[in-house]
Amino acid sequence: MKEKLIDLFEYTYHFNREMIKVIAGNLEKIDEKTISLINHILNAQQVWNSRILNEKSFEVWQIHPFDDLDEINQQNFEKSIEIIEESDLDKEIAYQNSRGTKFENTIFEMLFQAINHSTYHRGQINSQLKQKGIDPILTDYIFYKR
């Protein structure tokens, strides 16, 4: 299971990086919503990692300097892999969401949420790119594996 989860984080890291490249190459056409979404993708993964590790987290809609996004993506990836390799994925973690509501989920569920969440928002970014006349990138998992 851990190997499959690592593979999914490699996929997530790869297409986050590709999305950042496409946005960087078209910054003059990119609107605030797209910038907000790419930041949100990275923030959310950092937030889930931080909940698991009981560390300080970003705000979910925090905007970072664009030049920092590649580094944040790299740090998120490394931290997620470290969690996978060193944790019992069935362990339940208690945490609070951004509204202060308390929940409890397994580490696996929290990590899978980070992956699924980023996939969803990359789709939204692709839609935004297309509306701006920018060719969207094929981010489906199967294209990554081919």
**pLDDT over 90 (residue 72):** yes
What is the pTM assigned to this prediction?
0.95
- Smallest Cα–Cα separation from 80: which of 55, 46, 113, 105? 46
Where do the H-state alpha helices sit in the chain? Answer: 2-25, 32-53, 69-86, 107-131, 141-145
**pLDDT over 90 (residue 128):** yes
> What confidence score (pLDDT) does residue 120 get?
98
Q: Which domains does the chain have, with CATH numbers?
A: 2-145 (1.20.120.450)
Q: pLDDT tens across 8-28, in order?
A: 999 999 999 999 999 999 999
Strands 92-96 and 102-106: antiparallel
121 assigned to a ligand binding site:
yes
**pLDDT over 90 (residue 38):** yes
64 assigned to a ligand binding site:
no
pLDDT bracket for residue 116 (50, 70, 90): very high
> What confidence score (pLDDT) does residue 98 get?
85
Q: pLDDT tens across 44-71, in order?
A: 999 999 999 999 999 999 999 999 999 9
> What confidence score (pLDDT) does residue 94 get?
97
Alpha-carbon distance of 89 to 69, in angstroms, equals 27
Rounded to an integer, the average pLDDT of 32-43 is: 98
